[in-house]
Amino acid sequence: MRITKIGVVGAGAMGSGIAALAASAGMPVVLLDIPGTDDRGKPARDGLAKAVKAKPAAFMDAARAALVKTGNTEDDLGLLADCDFIVEAIIEQPAPKQALFAKLETLAKPTAIIASNTSGIPMKVLTHGRSASFKSRFVGTHFFNPVRYMHLLEIIPTPDTSPEVLRWTRVLAERVFGKGVVLCKDAPGFIANRLGMFGMVRALRLMEQHGLTIDEVDALTGPLLGRPKTATFRTGDLSGLDILTHVAAGLGAATGEDFSIPEWVTGLVKAGRLGDKAGGGFYKKTPGKGGKPTVETYNWKTGEYGPQQKVETPELAMLMKLPLPERFAKLKELQGPHFEFLRAHLAETSLYTLAKTPELAYDMVAVDRALEWGYGWDVGPYRCMDFVGADWLRFMCTERKLPEPRLLTQAIGSFYKPAGASEGFLSNDGSYQAYPAIPGAMVLDSLKRTGKTIEATQDAALVDLGDGVLCLEFRSKMNTLGEGVLRAIHSALDRVERGYTGLVLGNDDKRTFTAGANLAGVGQLILEGKWKDVEAGALVFQQTAMRLRESPFPVVAAPHGLTLGGGCEFSMHCDRVQAHAELYMGLVEVGVGILPSGGGTKELLFRFSEEIAKYDNADPFEALVRAFKLITLAQTSTSAHEAQKFGFLRQGDRISMNRDLLIADAKQRVLDLAADYVAPPPRVIRALGAEAYGNLKYALWAFKEGGMASDHDVHIGQKIAYVLSGGDGPARDVTEWDILDLEREGTLSLLGTKETQARIKHMLETGKPLRN
């Protein structure tokens, strides 16, 4: 079986999102919807158009919308006949889905996998009346919205689903869609929505009982607990209050449990206050001074909106400074309405999770992954329970006069336990079993627990991936590239040169590969007037980049998430990049008043000049213009696909759709290169000199005249133009080090200006760029 074409029925937010993700991965897609009244193909085309224009973007590369063929479900159902995987994402009612499956049974090829994106309808209801062959190829696939960004995919096999179909569905999910797969039992709400909705409903009720406000509850149920900033009510506004009440009602009807929503919430729905899509729900924005919107919060007691209140107390401030395990432990002791609410919410949701896990999931690891991947929690419910302790949960059972869930009774001390060099977990049958690895993944923390660490400092760790491949993990704050990290890179390169096959630069961080150079360290040196140290540091940074390029063995970067400044520069100097699809890469140095001087300016100049030199009669100045725009506008990619278009990635670089598999993919890339590896030769290009420099300076003048650049912006731009032109003399041949020297001189000159120093200070204090 091989999946080469995908069909999606239903072009709403979910269906078009699935189609966009599949097309982003390079898959041809058929996207169908019900016929329109006047234009029968319009609903599907509109769904695709919305996906192309969506914010945040549904496509990783909007040009890949060309891979999606649209149609309607009456005239064009036959387009699905040659699809290998067909997923329905139509109205959440059994009858329309059953009718669609009856049609698909007659026209889909006999090997096609048929899937439903239902958020809770039992699989046995959906397959009622279908043949044994159809049932063997049927599986539930519950995506989360927005499809591109939510890592979780719940897969719900039925007793009839064949092992081969389940295996290929999982391969598609993990490799093409890039999802973290959790296998669920066929129970109402599956795992994430059943537990997540229970937590939402209980937060509403406990807020009323403890007399808290919406602002207070969101302050208590977000980052404080290791959960997203959207917390409880902001999440509700994003999802839609109508969706919230509909799902809660459905779960209540299907389970017989209390998922009732307070009347004031249903009142908001009746009044059309559905959340963000309707201009307001629990929160709403109103025009403020200077055009900046003001956020107002709904007062559930009075039924009126009022100014949003920032919730700040000494206790909350103290907790936020603690590591998450210590934070949870401290929550058990603190007094006052905020902490009474938190203890009640934590106790009720934990005990519910313990009671329902055997019904919903095959193991508790699936529960933790579902909430981490589907709801953005830093750690799942069972990790949180270990933070507060099983004994405290037993005390909560006694205090609330509730029966002790079986899993809690069976827990010996904790739910997760060290198991030799690995980790074990409490299984549904009460025994402790080995932690299940994600298929194909390499997790650095797991390797370190098994003694694979070769070197380690506060700033970096060198880990043995096996087969002669090492991985250097940056672990400074935001993985910034300070003196300690640079030393670690050289040490790693030395070690590989003494007898290993190659090196990967990568880490397990969920959000950041590296935020670039250690700006705080540079700022401190400037403050102390240690200019020779600043200059020496700039040279070492460049030497490090060039050593990554010139080493006699393959070096592969595995960037993901934030990959800024020096992180982008180091990646570009590696032999190959194995990037995660969600890559926010750019040379953003102008934001702090300098130019890319770790080889970034040089590399773009050489890369684009070499590319354009392949074509007869091409204007070499266009290479400079392309690099100049990327650098002066600090353009940052919104995906690896866009990074490839910008030129940060080359055609030979590869993209991993799944973050979990990135390190393993990068290791394989090293092995692919190693067999016949030869270090790249030195490069020489023609620098265009004074004529190019004059043209770029004119463009800067035009920007300033148009009010789009400050005097200091122009000054920075002129330094960049000077480097890209190879100086202001006649055209000449230049080596990489000729341009690197100009890079370094340009940045040192800018660091001496009060405007650049002000930009650095502002960035360090606020995290935002200063335009001065």
Positions marked active-site = 569, 589
Number of C-beta neighbours around residue 286 at 10 A: 12
- C-alpha closest to that of 77 among 107, 41, 102, 48: 107
Both tokens of 192, joined, read 């994430």
Q: Are 442 and 663 in contact (CB under 8 A)?
A: yes
- C-alpha closest to that of 21 among 141, 111, 136: 141
Per-residue DSSP letter, 290: G
What is the secondary structure of 325-348 as a DSSP string?
Answer: HHHHHHHTT--SHHHHHHHHHHHH
Q: Are 72 and 27 in contact (CB under 8 A)?
A: no
Both tokens of 331, joined, read 């929550």
- C-alpha closest to that of 29 among 52, 63, 61, 4: 4
Both tokens of 314, joined, read 């000494």
Residue with tokens 């208590």: 220
Residue 681's contacts (CB-CB under 8 Å, 6 or more residues apart) are: none
Radius of gyration (C-alpha) of the chain in whole angstroms: 28
Number of C-beta neighbours around residue 434 at 10 A: 12
Residue 268's contacts (CB-CB under 8 Å, 6 or more residues apart) are: 241, 274, 281, 282, 298
Number of C-beta neighbours around residue 532 at 10 A: 9
Amino acid at 440: G
Whole-number Å distance between alpha carbons of 697 and 694: 5
Residue with tokens 């969706």: 243
Both tokens of 680, joined, read 């790249």
Cα distances from 136 to residues 83, 163, 267, 704, in angstroms, run: 17, 9, 45, 66
Residue 53 three-state SS: helix
Q: At residue 84, what are phi and psi to the nearest 5 degrees?
A: -95, -20
